[in-house]
Copies of this chain bind each other. A is one copy, B any other.
Amino acid sequence: MSLTGKLLIGQQTIPGDREIIQGINPATDALLEPAYAGGSAEHVEQACALAWAAFDRYRETALEARAEFIETIAHEIEALGDELIDRAMAETGLPRPRLLGERGRTCQQLRLFARTVRAGEWLDVRVDSAQPQRQPLPRSDLRQRQIALGPVAVFGASNFPLAFSVAGGDTASALAAGCPVIVKAHGAHPGTSELVGRAVARAVKACGLPEGVFSLLYGSGREVGIALVSDPRIKAVGFTGSRSGGLALIKAAQARPEPIPVYAEMSSINPVLLFPAALRNRSQALAEGFVSSLTLGAGQFCTNPGLVIALKGPALDTFIGAAAELIQRSPAQTMLTPGIFNAYESSVNALAENPRARLAAVGQRGTAPNQGQAHIFVADAADFLADHALQAEAFGAASLVVQCAGHEEVREVLEHLEGQLTATLHLDDEDLDQARSLLPTLERKAGRLLVNGWPTGVEVCDAMVHGGPFPATSDPRTTSVGTAAIQRFLRPVCYQDFPDALLPTALKQANPLALRRLLDGQREA
């Protein structure tokens, strides 16, 4: 399949007429063909009109039909074969095994949402039967279900060109909820985006759905991005990226005559706590696990362990020494884009120049463009508490070890942190009481807590929370990974005293979807 370099508005490929977006191979700085001319407000208008026209029909598709559509997307992505992997490698500098794994994850994610759609629990059907004889007033028949919010704008991430991009978690969960999706492609991987976007469009066609269920736009955040978020037909936004990018979208969404929710996953430094016994008993193994998690994918994970917290002392010194040795041997890695590489360089330079932090180790020099070196810094807790800049995210393989004078200072450091996606505890049996005493703080600070693991793996499943208090995300009530993500795109509607013939299928008295309803206060078996 040859790339067209065009926008995809429903089933139409349409040339853009604004500034060019072009993929760059970060390993060589070479430009990748084709060029993608950006879209304009007029293209946003066309995509929104189609999405709006599709909405009422798409949101009422039968569960089985919707699930099959989502599975068809997975199938179409797999059918792209090596072309997709090769293009994604060229555009991102990520190695083949990682992208093969990410494709697998993306397709499994789609299939998991198909399963979720079929199970129908997301409809959250509640029935309170009429009580015509009730005194002093009769009770009406009341039935509730969830319906889709409306068309959703999705802004893909740079760091997961498949799993968090065109057909990633936001798109999958919005489609599962019954929302048409308009994706603004990330400029870092336009070709990968086109391949996946056309796969989605083929699935729309194959399943006989209205074409407006999916569109893919290219363009600038200022023009296309803000126009999308401001369009009255868009009812929610999914975003993964920088704090400044997320905040700009939130501002636009709040400025609308009808404000809408923005689910922005932004920044997190993912504190890792090393408890005393664990640190004493296995500092070498902890250092190995830490450096391996820190350097995975050049550190370009939302859940990268950017902060280590432990008690100052010989055990921590041993850990830092072991980690420093591993870091010094770690090769530089190609980062996703020249922009990300430059931002990473600025972040580590700022830390290096900060008198409150000390550079403990730096990885090997790069031998090609855009190769980031791993870094470890060390600071005392008092300095960390005194300087907010030390908890800024350095997107890449950099981490700061904070040395605390005692357990209460550990708590103080944790309370001082902004909201996080994850918090990790490394502990042995003797550490349990100390860990338990910090749990209330950790639960308030993060969406996911891990024991004796590393945060960089994010399983796509029912129980995952990839979310957390601001600024980790804009909405801690939600997750952007896992099946609970579907709830972001739903709202409840109540039907009072409806004749059965007028009720939606999910609410009909005979319960044709065999849902376990909340019926008169009891959950059906």
Query: Is A493 touching B448 in the complex (CB atoms < 8 A)?
Result: yes
Query: Is B459 touching A140 in the complex (CB atoms < 8 A)?
Result: yes
Closest B-chain residue to A496, C-beta based? Answer: B450
Please measure, in the bound complex, the distance between the C-alpha atom of A479 and the C-alpha atom of B493, giving whole angstroms.
9
Q: Which of B261, B452, B499, B502 contacts A497 (CB 8 A)?
A: B452
- Interface stretch of the complex, out of A77-85, A195-203, A467-475: A467-475
- Interface stretch of the complex, out of A143-151, A154-162, A338-346, A395-403: A143-151
Stoichiometry, as copies per complex, reads: 2
Please measure, in the bound complex, the distance between the C-alpha atom of A179 and the C-alpha atom of B525, giving whole angstroms.
31
Query: Given A258-B470, A432-B502, do A492 and B126 touch, yes or no (CB 8 Å)?
Result: no
Q: Is A46 an interface residue (CB 8 A)?
A: no
What are the residues of chain B within 8 A of A447 when measuring CB–CB?
Answer: 491-494
Please measure, in the bound complex, the distance between the C-alpha atom of A471 and the C-alpha atom of B450, giving whole angstroms.
41
- Interface stretch of the complex, out of A328-336, A362-370, A376-384, A435-443: A435-443
Query: Is B516 touching A523 in the complex (CB atoms < 8 A)?
Result: yes
Q: Is A210 an interface residue (CB 8 A)?
A: no
Q: Is A96 an interface residue (CB 8 A)?
A: no
Please measure, in the bound complex, the distance between the C-alpha atom of A68 and the C-alpha atom of B115, giving whole angstroms.
39
Query: Is A259 touching B470 in the complex (CB atoms < 8 A)?
Result: yes
Query: Is A149 touching B494 in the complex (CB atoms < 8 A)?
Result: no
Please measure, in the bound complex, the distance between the C-alpha atom of A484 and the C-alpha atom of B452, giving whole angstroms.
36
Q: Which of B419, B440, B479, B525 contacts A258 (CB 8 A)?
A: B419
Q: Is A285 an interface residue (CB 8 A)?
A: no
Query: Is A464 touching B142 in the complex (CB atoms < 8 A)?
Result: yes
Q: Is A14 an interface residue (CB 8 A)?
A: no
Query: Given A140-B459, A516-B523, do A465 and B494 touch, yes or no (CB 8 Å)?
Result: yes
How many chain A residues have a CB neighbour from B under 8 Å? 77
What are the residues of chain B within 8 A of A463 when measuring CB–CB?
Answer: 126-128, 142-144, 494, 518
What are the residues of chain B within 8 A of A261 when measuring CB–CB?
Answer: 475, 477
Q: Is A297 an interface residue (CB 8 A)?
A: no
Q: Is A121 an interface residue (CB 8 A)?
A: yes
Q: Is A453 an interface residue (CB 8 A)?
A: yes
Query: Is A432 touching B499 in the complex (CB atoms < 8 A)?
Result: yes
What are the residues of chain B within 8 A of A461 when measuring CB–CB?
Answer: 128, 139, 142
Closest B-chain residue to A121, C-beta based? Answer: B523
Residues 63-112 of A at the B interface (beta carbon under 8 Å):
101
Distance from A259 Cβ to chain B, minimum over Cβ atoms (Å): 6
Query: Is A464 touching B502 in the complex (CB atoms < 8 A)?
Result: no
What are the residues of chain B within 8 A of A137 when measuring CB–CB?
Answer: 457
What are the residues of chain B within 8 A of A497 when measuring CB–CB?
Answer: 450-453
Query: Is B436 touching A502 in the complex (CB atoms < 8 A)?
Result: yes
Q: Is A291 an interface residue (CB 8 A)?
A: no
What are the residues of chain B within 8 A of A18 when measuring CB–CB?
Answer: none
Residues 415-434 of A at the B interface (beta carbon under 8 Å):
418-419, 432
- Besides the known contacts A432-B501, A451-B495, 12 further A-B residue pairs in the complex with CB atoms under 8 A apart: A115-B521, A121-B518, A126-B462, A128-B459, A147-B443, A258-B418, A258-B419, A259-B474, A448-B495, A449-B493, A451-B499, A465-B492
What are the residues of chain B within 8 A of A521 when measuring CB–CB?
Answer: 115, 462
Q: Is A271 an interface residue (CB 8 A)?
A: no
Closest B-chain residue to A418, C-beta based? Answer: B258
Closest B-chain residue to A142, C-beta based? Answer: B463
Query: Is B492 touching A479 in the complex (CB atoms < 8 A)?
Result: yes
Residues 476-513 of A at the B interface (beta carbon under 8 Å):
476-479, 484, 490-499, 501-502
- Contact pattern, A 119-148, Cβ under 8 Å of B = 1, otherwise 0: 101001011100000001101101110010
Q: Is A254 an interface residue (CB 8 A)?
A: yes
What are the residues of chain B within 8 A of A449 when measuring CB–CB?
Answer: 493-496, 498
Query: Is A496 touching B448 in the complex (CB atoms < 8 A)?
Result: yes
Distance from A193 Cβ to chain B, minimum over Cβ atoms (Å): 26
Q: Which of B147, B418, B439, B499 contacts A502 (CB 8 A)?
A: B439
Please measure, in the bound complex, the distance between the C-alpha atom of A411 and the C-alpha atom of B259, giving whole angstroms.
24
What are the residues of chain B within 8 A of A525 when measuring CB–CB?
Answer: 525
Q: Is A444 an interface residue (CB 8 A)?
A: yes
Q: Is A17 an interface residue (CB 8 A)?
A: no
What are the residues of chain B within 8 A of A147 when measuring CB–CB?
Answer: 443
Please measure, in the bound complex, the distance between the C-alpha atom of A496 and the C-alpha atom of B453, giving whole angstroms.
8
A-B contact pairs, 16 of them (CB 8 A): A126-B462, A140-B459, A143-B463, A144-B463, A144-B465, A258-B418, A258-B469, A432-B501, A446-B493, A448-B496, A451-B495, A451-B496, A462-B518, A463-B518, A465-B493, A477-B492
